[in-house]
Amino acid sequence: MELSLIRSLMDKEFYEEHRGARCPDRLFSKDVKKIKQSIDAAMDRYERSVTPDEIEALFMANNPTMTTAQKQAYSSLFNTIKREQPMGTDVAQEVLSKLFQQVIGEDIANLGVEYVVGDKSSLEPLRQILEQYGDDFTPNLNVEWDDIDIETLLARNDLEARWTFNIPSLVRKVEGVNGGHLIEVGARPNTGKTSFHASLIASPGGFAHQGANCIILCNEEGYHRVGARYLTAATGMTMREIKDNPAKARDLYAPVKERIKIKDATGRDMAWVESICKAYKPDVVLLDMGDKFARTGGFARNDEALKANAVHARMIAKQHDCAVFYMSQLSAEAEGKIVLNQSMMEGSRTGKAAEADLMVLIAKNPPVQGQDEEDIERHLNIVKNKLTGWHGSVHCQLEYQTARYTA
């Protein structure tokens, strides 16, 4: 079947009807694939139909290092192709369907085996395959073009933030975020990362108070500790005060409780995160810690895995129209410094940063010898900003006991 298809692809009109995704290289065996690539090059160069003799001459000329045995094998293959008759469009469609069925069917079978043996992440690529191919296993190329009317473009180009920040010094420089945005937040340990997102979401004027449905997926601290930060941020009460007066805390927490969902996500990956977003349709997703959702298998270097993870997070933000906050650690280079930069992101100096719409790096003052009390000053370094373009540092304070960032 594949040799008949190769012969037919030498016809310019047939080639144009079946080029690209309609007839990809992966449908062909290794040796035939090389011949198909020669046809692609010839069609791009000469823009006319070509003969088997011409393709053979080009192929041999472009592969001068082949051994005598290899040349004889390809010569025999070309002789077989020359005996093939070009096929009509209707027959070609049936042949393509069978070739796609073999290749895609093998992909589906492999993913099914992976799922059976315990790899739940194989469900998402399986779903994508089923969406990309029709009942006859050929690519689904029906495109629903995006709306570019003026009203749509004005609405979609983030002229106003849907979810505004509730830290006065920050909102003056970066109003807020919208669905489709990826916000990367980095800090050294014990700087206040968890309190930062708890304050943005649950404290007065936060996203949950604005009506946003928020999902917090945590794999760093236990859900109960993260939940406690959200409870104190929402109520303005310390945990001791909440224990002494739970009725008051319950009343203060009630306005936002139903809009905040927290789940321990230890051991989960980004495919699972995407399935959660598809099922629950959140407005804001918080990944704490974002890097720990990465799968390192199949990557030569750790930074490649982290970049792929950030790419997936950005894709989730766009496809599910939610703002994704991706919490990260900063490297030891950031220790004791209040002016931070992108290169201090741990594990991936540039890869993760390239995906972000907004990057906020949190710093605190270096310790002072003899000072007993924890310094409450925090410096929010805006090191990347595709939303408003402003870069620099804004300053605020962290109320430890209530997990609130204030002016």
Query: 155-406 has which fold?
Result: Rossmann fold (3.40.50)
How confident is residue 298, by pLDDT bands cut at 50, 70 and 90? low
E strand map for 23-92: none
Per-residue confidence (pLDDT) for residue 174, from 0 to 100: 93
Distances (CA, A) of 134 to 47, 128, 129, 319: 30, 12, 10, 21
**Domain ranges within the chain, ordered by starting residue:** 2-132, 155-406
Q: How far apart are CA 41 and CA 128, in angstroms?
A: 30
Q: Examine the pLDDT at 131 and tell me if it is beyond 70.
A: no
| Structural contact between residues 121 and 269, judged by C-beta atoms closer than 8 angstroms | yes
How confident is residue 380, by pLDDT bands cut at 50, 70 and 90? very high
Q: Examine the pLDDT at 108 and tell me if it is beyond 80.
A: no
Coil, helix or strand at residue 363 = strand
Residues 6+ apart with CB under 8 A from 303: 347, 348, 349, 351
Q: Examine the pLDDT at 138 and tell me if it is beyond 70.
A: no
**Range with lowest mean pLDDT among 22-31, 185-194, 263-272, 334-343:** 22-31
Distances (CA, A) of 352 to 11, 105, 114, 183, 296: 45, 34, 28, 11, 15
How confident is residue 218, by pLDDT bands cut at 50, 70 and 90? very high
Higher pLDDT, 67 or 25: 67
Q: Examine the pLDDT at 352 and tell me if it is beyond 70.
A: yes
**Range with lowest mean pLDDT among 4-18, 138-152, 198-212:** 138-152
Higher pLDDT, 274 or 137: 274
**Range with lowest mean pLDDT among 135-144, 244-253, 282-291:** 135-144
Q: How far apart are CA 255 and CA 201, in angstroms?
A: 12
Backbone angles phi, psi at 62, to 5 degrees: -85, -5
Cα-to-chain-centroid distance, residue 212: 21
Higher pLDDT, 29 or 187: 187
Per-residue confidence (pLDDT) for residue 134, from 0 to 100: 63
| Structural contact between residues 9 and 39, judged by C-beta atoms closer than 8 angstroms | yes
What number is the average pLDDT over the span 101-107? 75
Percent of the chain whose predicted confidence (pLDDT) is above 90: 55
What number is the average pLDDT over the span 235-241? 96
Per-residue confidence (pLDDT) for residue 121, from 0 to 100: 65
Q: How far apart are CA 367 and CA 191, in angstroms?
A: 12
Q: Examine the pLDDT at 141 and tell me if it is beyond 60.
A: no
What number is the average pLDDT over the span 338-359? 87
What number is the average pLDDT over the span 125-136? 67
Percent of the chain whose predicted confidence (pLDDT) is above 70: 91
Higher pLDDT, 94 or 379: 379
Per-residue confidence (pLDDT) for residue 287, from 0 to 100: 97
Q: How far apart are CA 256 and CA 204, in angstroms?
A: 10
Instruction: Give the chain's radius of gyration (CA, Å).
Output: 28
Q: Examine the pLDDT at 73 and tell me if it is beyond 70.
A: yes
Residues 6+ apart with CB under 8 A from 315: none
Tokens of 294: 């990465």
Distances (CA, A) of 333 to 3, 61, 194, 337, 382: 59, 54, 21, 8, 17
Higher pLDDT, 241 or 161: 241
pLDDT in tens, 253-269: 999 999 999 999 998 88
What number is the average pLDDT over the span 351-380? 87
| Structural contact between residues 138 and 93, judged by C-beta atoms closer than 8 angstroms | yes
Q: Examine the pLDDT at 374 and tell me if it is beyond 80.
A: no
CATH 3.40.50 fits 2-132, yes or no: no
Residue in this structure with the two tokens 């990057």, named with its chain if needed: 359
Report yes or no on whether pTM surpasses 0.75: no
Q: How far apart are CA 301 and CA 306, in angstroms?
A: 9
User: How would you classify the pairing of strands 182-187 and 176-177?
Assistant: unpaired
Q: What is the mean pLDDT of the chain?
A: 87
Q: How far apart are CA 37 and CA 88, in angstroms?
A: 21
Coil, helix or strand at residue 304 = helix
